[in-house]
């Protein structure tokens, strides 16, 4: 199918939606720091997440809140009134079982209506809930992270949706003595040899006054969730999430994305896991705040599973669509091949948001071209920035932009400090959305904040235009990941990684920049299997990745793409001299990748030190691709 060229896309009008106009107050300090804040005051947020549920159950009780695929492929739906009823029964059952602030609820399974009801019930009962990455139970070989998390949590109750699927993980917990005094609740398929309670039994509990008393006692500073970081620098840390954090964040987002409150209730189709702050806080709570419908996508951006996402997109036309770059990378080709799917996808779409990692510009432009082809207009495409510790949004783009990389301006109520750190400006965050600290870890809590109470997030940023701060902040990588060549020149890893992926598209799934204390830059390349197959049309069907990356046409594509990139650069800190294609994907047990697909640069470099040495050998082997300067 033919798509409009870039000039035609840029000439197309923007689709109209109501967004807060960009503005920022700037305080320039003598040390070179910049303090940024929104000139718009934060309005009073709800007291708690359960308050939002009770309001929607009262005002929009028959509206569908959650939908998921049933085993037979049909849609299982739960209205706000349905969920509120389930929450009251489950909350009463949790209190009767002794769940408390010190003995929380842990959910090991993924997104689902049962998961949502149990999490909301725990919050209504004043009991922290800790959703845990499914990868710790289903993908890990040693269960090390799972054991660490449960040992730290000391839960009173653990929930899994499918007992048989989690049987090995539960056995590992029992063998470690971590199920002593813990009630295991399952949704279906109880595992053999382990005493469990069925979720249906908890749902049959008659609500009583104990839950009403617990709900009345909630305050904005009550701990609602414990969300575990991805463990990029060691074992996962438990980030305390209070009701104040989550509710103030949604209030601020409602003030910048004004269309959400003055148009139809939003509809979101989302695969992102609830154990992460992006989906679990930003996405889920946004739908709850505005009385919308959250359609749970059981697919994900991975071979085979992406087909489920596409099937769901044929059924559901979202009004807002949130994803990480990998998700867009896998969805876009389907939209480009199928005009009916494309037109359905954009038929009522108000906003596209990416977060979690930088979106390559070529994906941005392809999405815009699809939007113009479908509607004649450019859909609003924006980004936001934050972390688990900021619930998650600290900055947001709430105006029209033409390219990726801009992370926005401070949302109402949040202060952003840009302070000099080596060659960059380090981003720090202060506001009601910032965590009070880490669960049972006072040392790390102290380390996370500066003397003025700003959270040290570890990212860097800069103003897009110093003379016009309202044009927004540009993400500038991680403070700690940049390094120097032997020439003393700084290499800015984040920007170079994005440029390399774009230069060699569609070959690179992700890459890690190497060269610290060396004279030139290298790349460890994790190939995109689908992209490799596209570049090697003559390869045997089903050829293994190890075979594909040895093919000369693929290696030539990588070398040529990076050479074109190099010719446009002026210095050694921007030119890539070598590349090595990796046949093995990043591993979750070695912390190389999170379950959302984010690469941990430091862990890859440590785990693949031998590959780094091969890449930078004085006499490189034939597997190393030398790139023309």
Instruction: Render pLDDT for 497-532 as a digit per residue (tens, 0 to 9).
Output: 989 999 999 999 999 999 988 889 999 999 999 899
C-beta neighbour count of 139 within 10 angstroms: 12
The pLDDT mean for the chain works out to 95
**What are the backbone angles phi and psi of residue 455, rounded to the nearest 5°?**
-75, 130
Residues 471-498: what's their mean pLDDT?
A: 86
Say if residues 389 and 239 touch (Cβ distance below 8 Å): yes
Together in a domain, 358 and 320: yes
d(CA 334, CA 465): 36
For 519, counting Cβ atoms within 10 Å of its Cβ (0-12 exposed, 13-18 middle, 19+ buried), the class is: exposed
In a domain, 73, yes or no: no
Q: Are 596 and 139 in contact (CB under 8 A)?
A: no
Yes or no: say if 19 and 256 are a contact pair by the CB < 8 Å rule.
yes
CA distance 84 to 62: 11
Residues 317 and 372 in one domain: yes
pLDDT recorded at residue 559: 97
From start to end of 482-589, where are the E strands?
A: 483-484, 490-491, 508-514, 521-527, 576-581
Task: Examine the pLDDT at 230 and tell me if it is beyond 70.
Answer: no
Per the omega criterion (within 30 degrees of 0), is the bond before 392 cis? Answer: yes
pLDDT at 478: 81
Does pLDDT of 232 surpass 60? no
* Per-residue model confidence (pLDDT) at position 442: 97
Does pLDDT of 436 surpass 90?
A: yes
Contact 153, 122 (CB under 8 A): no
- The helix-helix angle for 339-346 and 325-337 (nearest 10°) equals 130
> Which of 272-286, 478-492, 536-550, 614-628 is least confident?
478-492
pLDDT grade for 2, boundaries at 50, 70 and 90: confident
The DSSP element (H or E) to which 160 belongs, if any, is strand 157-162
Residues 271 and 384 in one domain: yes
Question: How far, in Å, CA of 517 to CA of 421, rounded?
Answer: 19
Q: How far is Cα 229 from Cα 87, in angstroms, rounded to an integer? A: 27
Same domain, 394 and 292: yes
Number of domains in the chain: 3
Asked, for residue 251, whether it belongs to a domain, the answer is yes
Q: How does residue 18 score in pLDDT terms, banded at 50, 70 and 90? A: very high
- Boundary-marking domain end, from 478, 511, 546: 478
Beta strand pairing call for 380-386 and 351-354: parallel
Q: Which of 183, 218, 253 is the last residue of a domain?
A: 218
pLDDT at 481 over 90: no
Residue 595 pLDDT class (50, 70, 90 cuts): low
Which whole number is the average pLDDT over 598-615?
91
The pLDDT of residue 542 is 86
97 and 124 assigned to the same domain: yes
Percent of the chain with pLDDT over 90: 85
The pTM of this model reads 0.86
CB 277 within 8 A of CB 387: yes
Alpha-carbon span 4 to 373, nearest angstrom = 7
Out of 417, 446, 478, a domain closes at: 478
pLDDT at 36: 99
532 with 407, same domain: the answer is: no
Note the pLDDT tens digit of each residue in 552-569: 999 999 999 999 999 999
Indicate the pLDDT class of residue 462, thresholds 50, 70 and 90: very high
pLDDT for 299 equals 97
Same-domain check for residues 347 and 369: yes
Phi-psi region of 220 (alpha: psi -120 to 50; beta: other; left: phi over 0): alpha
Across residues 339-361, what is the average pLDDT?
92
Which DSSP category does 424 fall into?
E
CATH number at residue 165: 3.40.50.980
Tell me: pLDDT of 482 over 90.
no
Based on the fold, state whether residues 501 and 588 are members of the same structural domain: yes
Average pLDDT over every residue of 35-64: 99
My answer on whether 382 and 468 are in the same domain is: yes
- CA dist 184 and 106 (Å) reads 10
DSSP 484: E
pLDDT score at 596: 62
Contact 300, 326 (CB under 8 A): no
Q: Number of H helices and number of E strands within the chain? A: 24, 28
Highest mean pLDDT out of 290-294, 420-424, 587-591:
290-294
pLDDT (0 to 100) of residue 490: 81
User: What's the residue count for the chain?
Assistant: 629
The whole-number average pLDDT for the span 322-342 is 95
Do 522 and 463 lie in one domain? The reply is no
What are the φ/ψ torsions at residue 576 (nearest 5 degrees)? -100, 120
Q: Is 16 left (phi over 0), alpha (psi -120 to 50) or beta?
A: beta
**Range 286-314 burial, b when 16+ CB lie within 10 A, else e:** bbbbbbbbbbbbebbbeeeebeebbebbe
Which of 53-62, 81-90, 150-159, 226-235 is predicted with the least confidence, judged by mean pLDDT? 226-235
Residue 36 lies in a domain: yes
What average pLDDT does the segment 203-222 reach? 98
CA-nearest of 607, 619, 596 to 111 is 596
Q: How far is it, in rounded angstroms, from Cα 85 to Cα 87? A: 5
233 is written with which tokens?
């620098």
Eight-class DSSP state of 37:
E
Domain that holds residue 528: 483-626
| Whether residue 37 has pLDDT greater than 60 | yes
Whether 412 and 527 map to the same domain: the answer is no
| Residues 373, 374, 377, 383, CA torsion sign | negative
Percent of the chain clearing pLDDT 70 (strictly above): 99
Written as six digits, the tokens of 546 are 């190890």
Question: Which of 195-209, 236-250, 429-443, 508-522 shows the lowest per-residue confidence on average (mean pLDDT)?
Answer: 508-522
Q: What is the pLDDT of residues 242-285, one digit of tens each?
A: 999 999 999 999 999 999 998 799 999 999 999 999 999 999 99
Q: What is residue 571's predicted lDDT score, i.e. its pLDDT?
A: 81
Pick the range with the lowest mean pLDDT from 7-11, 230-234, 508-512: 230-234
């Amino acid at each position: 199918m033919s798509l409009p060229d870039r000039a035609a896309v840029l000439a197309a009008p923007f689709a109209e939606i109501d967004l807060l106009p960009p503005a920022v107050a700037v305080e320039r300090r003598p040390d070179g720091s910049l303090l940024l804040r929104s000139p718009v005051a934060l309005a009073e947020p709800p007291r708690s997440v359960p308050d939002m549920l009770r309001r929607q159950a009262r005002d929009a009780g028959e509206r569908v809140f959650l939908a998921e695929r049933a085993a037979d492929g049909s849609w299982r739906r739960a209205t706000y009134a349905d969920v509120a009823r389930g929450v009251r029964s489950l909350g009463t059952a949790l209190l009767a079982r002794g769940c408390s602030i010190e003995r929380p609820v842990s959910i090991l399974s993924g997104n689902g209506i049962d998961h949502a009801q149990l999490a909301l019930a725990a919050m209504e009962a004043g009991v922290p809930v800790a959703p845990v990455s499914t990868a710790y139970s289903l993908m890990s070989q040693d269960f090390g992270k799972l054991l660490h998390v449960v040992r730290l949590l000391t839960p009173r109750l653990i929930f899994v949706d499918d007992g048989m699927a989690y049987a090995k993980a539960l056995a590992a917990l029992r063998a470690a003595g971590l199920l002593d005094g813990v009630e295991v609740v399952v949704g279906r398929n109880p595992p053999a040899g382990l005493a469990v309670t069925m979720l249906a039994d908890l749902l049959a509990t008659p609500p009583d006054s104990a839950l009403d008393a617990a709900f009345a006692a909630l305050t904005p500073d009550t701990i609602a969730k414990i969300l575990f970081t991805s463990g990029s620098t060691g074992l996962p840390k438990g980030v305390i999430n209070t009701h104040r954090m989550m509710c103030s964040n949604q209030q601020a987002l409602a003030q910048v994305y004004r269309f959400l409150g003055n148009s139809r209730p939003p509809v979101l189709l989302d695969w992102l896991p609830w154990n992460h702050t992006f989906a679990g806080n930003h996405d889920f709570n946004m739908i709850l705040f505005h009385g919308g419908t959250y359609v749970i996508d059981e697919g994900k951006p991975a071979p085979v599973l992406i087909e489920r996402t596409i099937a769901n997109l044929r059924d559901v036309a979202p009004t807002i669509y949130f994803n990480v770059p990998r998700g867009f990378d896998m969805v876009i080709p389907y939209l480009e091949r199928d005009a009916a799917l494309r037109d359905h996808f954009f038929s009522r779409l108000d906003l596209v948001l990416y977060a979690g990692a930088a979106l390559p510009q070529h994906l941005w432009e392809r999405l815009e071209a699809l939007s113009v082809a479908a509607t004649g207009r450019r859909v609003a495409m924006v980004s936001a920035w934050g972390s688990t510790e900021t619930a998650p949004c600290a900055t947001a783009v709430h105006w029209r932009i033409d390219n990726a990389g801009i992370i926005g301006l401070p949302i109402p109520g949040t202060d952003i400090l840009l302070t000099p750190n080596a060659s960059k400006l380090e981003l720090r965050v202060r506001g009601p959305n910032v965590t009070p600290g880490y669960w049972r870890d006072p040392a790390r809590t102290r380390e996370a904040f500066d003397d003025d109470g700003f959270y040290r997030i570890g990212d860097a940023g800069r103003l897009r235009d110093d003379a016009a701060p309202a044009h927004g902040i540009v993400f500038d990588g991680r403070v700690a990941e940049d390094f120097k060549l032997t020439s003393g020149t700084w290499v800015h890893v984040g920007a170079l990684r994005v440029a390399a992926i774009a230069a060699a598209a569609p070959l690179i799934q992700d890459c890690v920049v190497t060269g610290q204390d060396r004279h030139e830059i290298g790349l460890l390349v994790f190939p995109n299997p689908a992209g490799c197959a596209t570049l090697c049309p003559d390869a045997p069907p089903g050829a293994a990745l190890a075979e594909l990356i040895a093919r000369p046409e693929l290696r030539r594509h990588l070398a040529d793409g990076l050479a074109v990139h190099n010719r446009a650069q002026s210095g050694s800190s921007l030119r890539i001299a070598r590349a090595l294609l990796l046949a093995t994907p990043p591993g979750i047990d070695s912390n190389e990748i999170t379950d959302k697909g984010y690469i941990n640069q430091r862990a890859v470099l440590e785990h693949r030190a031998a590959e780094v040495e091969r890449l930078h050998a004085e006499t490189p082997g034939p597997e190393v691709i030398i790139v023309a300067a």
